[in-house]
Amino acid sequence: MSAVIDWEDAFANGAYIDGAAAYPPRWEQAAQAFRAGANMRADIAYGDQPRERYDLFLPDAMPRGLVVFVHGGYWLKFDKSNWSHLAAGPVAQGWAVALPSYTLAPEARIPQITGQIARAITHAAAEVAGPVCLTGHSAGGHLVTRMVCEDTPLPRGILDRIAHVLSISGLHDLRPLLHTQMNAELGLNEATARDESSALHSPPMDIAVTAWVGGHERPEFLRQSALLREAWARKGCAARLHVAHGLHHFNVIDGLAQPDSALTQAVLAQLPPRA
């Protein structure tokens, strides 16, 4: 595998995006501006570790349910404060939105981070009644799909409330990361790479799952999204693939800041009741 494909290049998003360096400060500015006027509860602890905190953004009326957005950064970068503005779309539609931080690698390994996100979702779901929709970007897309694998760390009562999982440009096959320099910090081995690959797990049969990916993403991210859809659909999951034409890895998430965008509408899709 590693002798055929340049895996460093396959995951190098910024190198193929014009003006890539301008995106992180732009995200931070938009996040700060949104927080300044938002109805929010900040830094709610869901565990004892310093980064086991989430922000909860609330609509003016009783929430229709809970959206949880999990950030990316290859499990190595960023925290909840960089992405606050992505709560704007669902909040405007009447939903509460929780954005958790988690301990970054190498301080935490990916299986530990998976457990942290489960605890964050469980805590936030205890604060907000109603259905729960999970979404996340890149590494965050991995983390939300891991919540609905057959070995889910979520309690049954929380799992039963999940109405939709939408992974945005998610990583669902972690085995190629074994052949990257970043694995020196991620600490994956053959066993953990397989165990943490959502596409290699059995999917949920009663939860709709969407793999959403930009049409101008790196080929590996297109493959990862298509792989999840095909692998889970073949096993009976209501899995869908959506390619957002013209968007790349850094702007594919922008729609969450707008209440009427296709992405916000997709996350909050009114799904048929479970049988």
Residue 196 has what pLDDT?
98
Q: What b-and-e string marks burial along 203-225, b requiring 16 or more CB atoms within 10 Å of the CB?
A: bbeebbbbbbbbebbbebbbbbb
Residue 50: cis peptide before it, omega within 30 degrees of 0: no
Q: Which CATH number fits domain 7-267: 3.40.30.120, 3.40.50.1820, 3.20.20.150, 3.40.50.280?
A: 3.40.50.1820
Residue 219 has what pLDDT?
97
Neighbouring CB atoms inside 10 A of 50's CB total: 10
Distance of CA 206 to the CA centre of its chain: 20
Neighbouring CB atoms inside 10 A of 236's CB total: 12
Compute the Cα dihedral for 228, 231, 236, 241 and give only its sign: positive
Residue 204 has what pLDDT?
86
Query: Cα-flanking dihedrals φ and ψ of residue 117, to 5°?
Result: -65, -35
**Residue 54 and residue 122: Cα distance in Å, rounded?**
12
Residue 215 has what pLDDT?
97
Domain residue ranges in the chain: 7-267
For the entire predicted model, the pTM comes to 0.95
Residue 269 has what pLDDT?
80
User: CA 169, 138, 6 angle in degrees (round to 5)?
Assistant: 85
pLDDT per residue rounded down to tens, the chain (275 residues): 445 789 999 999 999 999 999 999 999 999 999 999 999 999 999 999 999 999 999 999 999 999 999 999 999 999 999 999 999 999 999 999 999 999 999 999 999 999 999 999 999 999 999 999 999 999 999 999 999 999 999 999 999 999 999 999 999 999 999 999 999 999 999 999 999 999 999 998 889 999 999 999 999 999 999 999 999 999 999 999 999 999 999 999 999 999 999 999 999 985 433 33
Compute the Cα dihedral for 159, 238, 210, 234 and give only its sign: positive
CA dihedral 50, 150, 212, 57 (to 10 degrees): -40
